[in-house]
Structure 1
Amino acid sequence: MKAVLNHCNINITDLSKSIAFYKEALGMQIVREKEASDGSFKLVYLGDGISPFQIELTWLKDHPQPYDLGENESHICFVVDDYEAYHQLHQQMDCICFENEAMGLYFIHDPDDYWIEIVPKK
Structure 2
Amino acid sequence: MKFTFNHNNFNVLDLQKSIAFYEEALGLKVVRKYEAPDGSFILAYLGDGVTPHQLELTWLRDRKEPYNLGENEFHLAMAVDDMEAAHEKHEKMGCICFENKAMGIYFIHDPDNYWVEIIPGGK
Q: In which range does the TM-score fall when normalised by the shorter chain?
A: over 0.9
Distance 2:64 2:31 in 1: 24
1:121 Cα deviation after fit: 1.2
| SS, match of residue 77 in structure 1 | strand
| SS, match of residue 25 in structure 2 | helix
| TM-score, scaled to structure 1 | 0.99
Distance 1:43 1:119 in 2: 27
Distance 1:65 1:18 in 2: 16
Q: How many residues align?
A: 122
Counterpart in 2 of 1:78?
A: 78
User: Kindly, what percent of the aligned residue pairs are identical?
Assistant: 63
Quote the RMSD (CA, aligned, Å): 0.5
1:85 maps to amino acid: A
1:65 Cα deviation after fit: 1.1
User: Where in structure 1 do 4 or more consecutive aligned residues deviate above 3 Å?
Assistant: none
Unmatched 5+ stretches in structure 1: none
Distance 1:58 1:41 in 2: 7
Counterpart in 2 of 1:13?
A: 13
Counterpart in 1 of 2:64?
A: 64
| SS, match of residue 5 in structure 1 | coil
Counterpart in 2 of 1:107?
A: 107
Distance 2:44 2:90 in 1: 23
Matches within 5 A, 1:24-63: 24-63=24-63
Unmatched 5+ stretches in structure 2: none
